[in-house]
Chain A
Amino acid sequence: MAREIMYRDALREAIDEEMARDKTVFIIGEGIAERGGSYKVTEGLLDKYGPKRVRDTPIAEAGMIGVGVGAAIAGARPIVEILYIDFAMLGMDMIVNQAAKFRLMTGGDGRVPFIMRTQGGTGGGVAAQHSQSLEAMFYHIPGLKVVMPSTPSDAKGLLKYALRQPDPVMFLEHKHLYMTKGMVPDGEHIIAFGKGDIKRPGKDVTVIAWSNMVPRTLEAAEKLAAEGIEVEVIDPRTLVPLDKEMILTSVAKTNRAVIVQEAVRRGGVASDIASIIQEEAFYHLDAPIEIVAGLNIPIPFNLELEKASVPQVDDIVAAVKRSLHAKPVAIAAE
């Protein structure tokens, strides 16, 4: 059986279940204890697990991340909640030079099961320092797992898996998704890293999207379906490790790939996925790979400009049509 719950509730369930199961799991962050977190993910956990395992911190991200990485090395399973991914930049040395490297530099003896939960993306005009999509910064660093769930079910299953595996995980949520609802299975629900999910099957064009671009792509797919274009929407769910097999299999079927990311285009994960597709599925491509991405600019405060700076449904629709050489009718008739 399954229940329909919100993304934030699914995250809370995962943390709650794993804290009950494993005494080494603890969570720290700004306003996460008494206030229950800015997005209400940790609501009620203080009462249940006490102030030693659910702890408020000062506004000091470098310190919080350092504490988390150190505790993980020492054998605990810390979750550090960073209010905005933009602020995680303060802890980059601990993440990039310590957490990501420790396993290698100890010959595999030292493991760092450090979970950084944070959220990114645009939504509601919170301006340039609170709206970025920075997954590429972590994607670039070998040694880090990068997880970007788009649904309540994926959020719960992946967070539970993160809390049972041994490596540093950048668990990147999206501010737009916390209040979205979806079905989550009852009972133990765990999703291993590296397995993508086909959010909508189709035969004409493969569209790869993650995080908040998944619902947006599904909306585009709905519009395209009305025109007879069947889009296959693939959500890799984890960018590292990446489910290449699923992407390449789909591209081999559709001969077309569109990649949608909210992050700025330059140096993005979409470009890297495009390079994988062209290298490994070149002779399956019947059209150039399309990338729909954010503009190479800081996110503007003005709501209209914010909207214009990241992919919208119509942008995705247009890219899919370009990849079909704008002759969808002929293709559909094949």
Chain B
Amino acid sequence: MARPILMPQVGQDLTEGKVTAILVKPGDKVKKGDIVAEVESEKAVFEVEAFETGTILDIRYKVGDTAVVLEPLMMVGEEGEKLEAVPAPAAEAFSGEDAQAIVETAREPIASPAVETAHVTETAYLKTGTGGSSPLARRLAVSAGLDIAAIPGTGPKGAVVKQDVIAYQRSRSAETASVVAFRGSASQPSSAAGSGVLKTLQSGTGDPVLFIHGFGGELSAWRPFLSHLGITNPIIAIDLPAHGAAAGAAADSFDDLVGAVRNTLRTQDIGRLHLVGHSLGAAVATAIAGGGDLDVRSLTLIAPAGLGPKINGDYFAGFLSSASETVLKAWLDLLVHDPADLPGVLVRATLAGREGTAMAQNQARLAAGIVSGNTQLFSVRDALGRFGGPARIIVGREDRIVPPDQAEAVPPHVALHRLAQVGHLPQLEAAPLVGRLVAQTIRSAG
């Protein structure tokens, strides 16, 4: 029985790669471990091994082709064996999270491509949403954490377009209203604060680790960082009010943010967890950890705000008022020590995220409540002192948003790492090291 040798998945976000070398031809005998092909992702060339001994029966690609991850590159079997019909794409073709999304939405069948095609890779291409969907729809789906393949398309030939993503998002948010915490409970009747939106980025065992992004960020920005963690705990992340999927929710103050996260956790019945936060999100994490009501196992603060009065107020003003890519990039460059580290997509994604949502308006409203000129209007210094568990602060020495020296005077039980040639985004600029440090903090809690 012929078995496929699959295009391997290297890297979380890789969906396809280029075939740079085919080292066998049909009829060749291979044994387990033989290198049969080389494929290339964005950054690296890697080798594809035969997984078992046999004869190459069929090669699906030629050099230069683009192969879809986890699709068969070639078939291997007994010499002289006749190939049966092309097997369906492997069910594992999606990462855990994607698979979950598909299961959740299985009642809505994926619109089948109107053009019948015998070529397995092309079908898969359409299924993964990179063919039958508009670029805008794909981007919106990614930023909303949706799997485009699960969204029914109504565009030309069943393509998924902007309208479809928005309609799908609406229908989903209606369904999941019960699990998304909306602030407005009796305890804070007067608050204008909205909700956070939680998303599971990795399933696992043990206490969950909650990641909280900074001002202007969103939960999906953590994704590339997660590969550097190497932990098996469940990983969840939140979109704070005025950000990401919670862009429509308003928050007027730091306390509103903390309240929104607390309520979101309460609604999800999460009472025991690790916290990792960046910048403003680190301050929120600290406030929660210092509150004592939740069982916070460990606290990792990356470039935290709230430890001193100073902050780069110009950045907030510039970030919020930037309407063009050029202008926004000039401000976002301040986030990193080396502008080359700033992903180009961030600029566009930020501008795009503001479209059609109240994000810009809500972020400006929030900024007014947390920053005045170059002063932070909140402090979590006391809260940090009250937290007795394992705590670690990681700052970049070249941080131009929050002065790194404000982290100097932390309580002595808190570890402080000051990274040279790193700015305000250590999790991006020094991802492997920061990943290791976060993992160590979590593990040290036992």
Contacts and interface: CB of A to CB of B under 8 A. Distances in A.
Interface of A: 245, 248-249, 252-253, 255, 282-287, 325, 327, 330-331, 334
Contacts of A245: 324
A43 B138 CA distance: 58
B279 to A, nearest CB: 25
Interface stretch (B21-29, B79-87, B112-120, B154-162): B154-162
Contacts of A330: 163
B431 to A, nearest CB: 24
A285 B136 contact: yes
Contact of A286 (B136, B323, B325): B136
Interface in B344-391: 348-349, 351-352, 355
A325 B156 contact: yes
B352 A283 contact: yes
Interface in B138-178: 138-139, 154-156, 161-163, 166
Contact of B161 (A248, A249, A253, A286): A286
B137 interface: yes
A267 to B, nearest CB: 25
Given A325-B161, A330-B163, A286 B134 contact: yes
Contacts of B138: 283
Contacts of A331: 163
Contacts of A285: 134-136
B327 to A, nearest CB: 11
B163 A284 contact: no
Given A245-B324, A286-B137, 14 more contacts: A252-B355, A253-B355, A255-B134, A255-B162, A282-B135, A283-B135, A283-B138, A283-B349, A283-B352, A286-B134, A286-B136, A325-B156, A325-B161, A327-B154
Interface in B83-104: none
Nearest to A280: B325
A282 B344 CA distance: 13
Interface residues of B, number: 21
Contacts of B355: 252-253
A282 B161 CA distance: 14
Given A282-B135, A286-B134, A249 B324 contact: yes
The 5 closest A-B pairs by CB, nearest first: A286-B136, A283-B139, A286-B162, A286-B134, A282-B135
16 contacts: A245-B324, A282-B135, A283-B352, A284-B352, A285-B136, A286-B134, A286-B135, A286-B136, A286-B162, A287-B134, A287-B161, A325-B154, A325-B155, A327-B154, A334-B163, A334-B166
Contact of B351 (A252, A255, A287): A252
A224 B282 CA distance: 51
A70 to B, nearest CB: 40
B136 A255 contact: yes
Contacts of B352: 252, 283-284
Contacts of A248: 325
Contacts of A287: 134, 155, 161
A283 B130 CA distance: 12
Contacts of A283: 135-136, 138-139, 348-349, 352
Contacts of A286: 134-137, 161-162
A284 B161 contact: no
A282 B349 CA distance: 12
Interface in B308-359: 323-325, 348-349, 351-352, 355
A186 B434 CA distance: 64
A67 B174 CA distance: 73
A285 B137 CA distance: 8
Nearest to B326: A245
- Among A245, A286, A327, A334, chain B packs the most CB atoms within 10 A around the CB of A286
Nearest to B143: A283
B153 to A, nearest CB: 10
Contacts of B139: 283
A312 B281 CA distance: 56
B305 to A, nearest CB: 30
Contacts of A282: 135
A323 to B, nearest CB: 10
Nearest to B138: A283
Nearest to B139: A283
Contacts of B349: 283
Contacts of A327: 154, 163
B276 to A, nearest CB: 28
Interface in B156-210: 156, 161-163, 166
A200 B161 CA distance: 26
Contacts of A249: 323-324
A245 B135 CA distance: 20
Nearest to A285: B135
A7 B134 CA distance: 42
Contacts of B162: 255, 286
A154 B324 CA distance: 26
Nearest to B162: A286
Contacts of B135: 282-286
B353 to A, nearest CB: 11
- Among B136, B325, B355, chain A packs the most CB atoms within 10 A around the CB of B136
A327 B139 CA distance: 21
A44 B139 CA distance: 59
B91 to A, nearest CB: 30
Interface string B294-315: 0000000000000000000000
Contacts of B325: 248
Nearest to A249: B324
Nearest to A333: B163
A331 B355 CA distance: 15
A327 B355 CA distance: 21
A140 B138 CA distance: 34
Contacts of B163: 327, 330-331, 334
Nearest to A330: B163
A100 B155 CA distance: 46
A325 B166 CA distance: 16
B148 to A, nearest CB: 13
Nearest to A284: B136
A182 to B, nearest CB: 30
- Among A245, A252, A283, A325, chain B packs the most CB atoms within 10 A around the CB of A283
A234 to B, nearest CB: 16
Contacts of A253: 355
B115 to A, nearest CB: 16
Contacts of B155: 287, 325
A112 B309 CA distance: 58
A20 B162 CA distance: 56
A252 B348 CA distance: 10
A283 B163 CA distance: 15
